[in-house]
Amino acid sequence: MSADVKDKTKRLLDAFTTGREVLEEMLLEQQRLSRRIDELQQENQGFATRHVEMEQQSSNLANLYVVSHQLHSTLDFREVLQIVREVIINFIGSECFSILLMNEETDELHTIAAEGADLLPGIEALTVRLGDGILGETAMTGESKFLRDANGFDRIPRADRPLATVPLKIKDRTIGLLVIYQLLQHKRAFSDTDFELFSLLAGQAATAIFSAKLYSEAERKLNTIQEFLDLLTVEA
């Protein structure tokens, strides 16, 4: 083999070796870029998830603010009850529930507002004695009770097995109950937002209902006194 051929052969082998090394470096770089793309996709997915969570939290805070504002926007007893009903229907998503108020003279709770009488007949006229059953026990202990079994949300509602029983409390004093018997059909369980709303209603709704009740009673007594004074004036 001539020197010229050997030289060409050597240059060809060197070029092949160099080309292989370049190809290996390109493959390694491609792998590195691929891993980096996967990392960026995961980071973007994480950012997107956190963004959705932040939007949900912002929406929840806005809803809680609206509910709190509405509850204390009036002292009319019927209006307060209607606001609580709308909160339970629109925010919690319940189609069958009752709101009971405590009569401290008799230690009994009586329904003052309800929804879903077609689903649970008699729900609008419930009477529960303190300590009796789930409702009476919740009123006595002041501790909320929630159904944890998702399958139970499909059952036919019954007065003695609610999905949620939430005491309406002013400090440590239970003045009534919020009882959820059935959710809307598209809703399968309680969400974190629901529990926040239950917590809000436990205190805010209790205060609003109790204040409106006292105001209504005071206004009724004032009207009675005024009628009596008017009667005395006429007679004089």
pLDDT in tens, 51-100: 565 666 566 666 666 777 777 778 888 888 998 898 888 888 889 999 99
pLDDT of residue 134 exceeding 60: yes
The mean pLDDT of 164-184, rounded to a whole number, is: 91
pLDDT digits (tens, 9 = 90+) for 176-228: 999 999 988 877 788 877 888 888 888 888 888 888 888 888 877 777 776 66
Residue 195 counted as domain residue:
yes
109 confidence band (pLDDT: 50, 70, 90): very high
State the total domains in the chain.
1
Residue 163 counted as domain residue:
yes
pLDDT of residue 42 exceeding 90: no
The mean pLDDT of 6-15, rounded to a whole number, is: 63
Residue 182 counted as domain residue:
yes
Residue 55 counted as domain residue:
no
Q: What is the pLDDT of residue 189?
A: 80
Inter-residue contact 176 to 168 (CB < 8 Å): yes
Residue 215 counted as domain residue:
yes
Residue 27 counted as domain residue:
no
Q: What is the pLDDT of residue 4?
A: 64
Q: What is the pLDDT of residue 38?
A: 77
% of the chain at pLDDT higher than 70:
76
pLDDT of residue 1 exceeding 60: no
Tell me the residue length of the chain: 236
Crossing angle of the two packed helices 77-87 and 206-235, in degrees rounded to 10: 160
CATH at 79: 3.30.450.40
Domain assignment of residue 182, given as a range: 72-223
Starting from the edge strand earliest in sequence, which strands make up the sheet with 164-170, in order? Answer: 127-129, 108-115, 94-103, 173-183, 164-170, 145-146
Residue 138 counted as domain residue:
yes
User: Which has the closest alpha carbon to 181: 194, 200, 165?
Assistant: 165
Residue 154 counted as domain residue:
yes
